[in-house]
Amino acid sequence: MTDDDVRNEVREWLADNWDPELDRGTWAQRVFDAGWAVPSWEPQWWGRGLSDPQSRIVAAEFAAMGAPGTGHDRANLFACTLHDLGTDEQKQRLIPPSIRGETKWCLLYSEPGAGSDLAGLRTRAERDGDDWVINGQKVWTSFAKTADYGLLVARTDWDVPKHNGISFFMFPMRQPGVEIRPIHQITGESEFNEVFISGARVPDANLVGQPGGGWSVLQVALAYERRLMGDLARTSRGARKPQADADSLVAMARSAGKLDDSFVRQEIARVEGYAAVNRWNTQRAKATSDRAEAATLLALGKIAMSRILHETARVQTEIAGPESMLTGPDNPVGDAVTFRTLNAYFTSIGGGTDQIQRNIVGERVLGLPKEPEPYRNTAFRELPSSS
């Protein structure tokens, strides 16, 4: 199908089917049955076999109608990871409820002692019959309180090098032994949580990949997360946060009477330059059929969006001037700029820190030598530990 064919078909389908009065579950089922929920997936897995750019055309048409339900082939990390690496049984059992919005998920990756170095994680999974028993702690988990499943990485073998002893599970969150504590953030929000797991269980049927093969599964899941974060960073995150693009900066400068300031104009142009280069790299990532190249370009895109958000916050501060030091509902401009400045660090840390992304770009794009790994072949239990 051509792009115009896709655009016309989805418009016609929406015209015939979209009704804002429908309850959410009925509408989600209708979208799912029609293949619009995951349009770039194969028809046998509830999709339409479209390209990624065509999937975005579908998303744009849904958004224009105010209709939810599409885009799970880009935004649903739980479903995307299972689509790529799950067994047929796991796909049939776990993906449809997630796509229809009947189940929700969160990410159980980072730990207090294993953030940027995820391979250093110490959450333990031990086999017990048809289950695995989980003990450990996770941190920086969004949506933990509402999640039905957590994408969990845990250590199943302590006698092999650290990357080889990790397994990946779709972990049921609503069970005894799971305690969730909100984390208070500098922005005043509590979007993240600590998760304490003590003797909780996950069926072996929810193991994705092989025991000890979780690191490769995690890389796929992280690639989807970085792409999602890049997409989200292009739009507003919350009412207090202005849009991250040059148009919003132009409007802000015009409102402040600073659009004729040559320095401000130059800074706005700089942000737009970063954004343009990032769009080109994103298009290149979508066009390539090489999975490794696409993952590398997405890492580059993620760090680029981090830079754009920080630069946008800096230029907004320049435009707002002293007002940027004011917060609260009585100072909407200053409050928004302060929120943007503080919240920019979310993208610098989440989904892999800027430093980790630079390592990926240095090694995989520039061909620079890897950092020394003196313990690369050392069993995990023999690694030096500060604990």
DSSP per position, 57-92:
HHHHHHHHHT-----HHHH-HHHHHHHHHS-HHHHH
Beta strands 131-142; 124-128: pairing state: antiparallel
Tokens of 70: 């599409």
State the number of CA atoms in the 13 A half-sphere of 275 facing the CB.
21
Angle between helices 291-320 and 332-349 (to 10 degrees): 150
Question: Would you list the DSSP string of 94-136?
Answer: HHHHHHTTSS-EEEE--BTTBSS-GGG---EEEEETTEEEEEE
- Those residues of the chain that have pLDDT short of 70 are 230-247, 291-292, 295, 299, 386-387
Model confidence pLDDT, tens digit, residues 346-359: 778 877 788 888 88
Q: What is the largest CA-CA distance in the chain?
A: 71
Nearest to 189 by CA among 224, 144, 238, 123: 238
**What local confidence, expressed as pLDDT, does residue 382 receive?**
92
Beta strands 131-142; 178-183: pairing state: unpaired
Question: Would you list the DSSP string of 158-195?
Answer: SSS-GGGSEEEEEEE-SSTTEEEEEE--TTS---EEEE
**What local confidence, expressed as pLDDT, does residue 247 receive?**
56
Nearest to 340 by CA among 362, 311, 381, 383: 311
Strand partners, 128: 131
pTM: 0.81
**What local confidence, expressed as pLDDT, does residue 242 receive?**
43
**What local confidence, expressed as pLDDT, does residue 239 receive?**
39
> What 3-state DSSP class applies to 137?
strand
In which element (H, E) is residue 201 found? Answer: strand 192-203
Euclidean distance between CA atoms 300 and 125, whole angstroms: 33
Taken in order 346, 347, 353, 358, is the CA torsion positive or negative? negative
**What local confidence, expressed as pLDDT, does residue 57 receive?**
95
Nearest to 353 by CA among 295, 298, 279, 299: 299
Q: Which regions of the chain carry the CATH code 1.20.140.10? A: 234-365
Is there a catalytic annotation at residue 225?
Answer: yes
* Residue of 61, 111, 225, 311 with catalytic role: 225
Report phi then psi at 339, rounded to 5. -60, -45
Q: Which regions of the chain carry the CATH code 2.40.110.10? A: 105-212
CATH top-level class for 234-365?
Answer: mainly alpha
In which element (H, E) is residue 146 found? Answer: none
**What local confidence, expressed as pLDDT, does residue 233 receive?**
54
Nearest to 269 by CA among 286, 245, 285, 293: 245
Q: Residue 381: CB partners within 8 Å, gap ≥ 6?
A: 158, 159
CATH top-level class for 105-212?
Answer: mainly beta
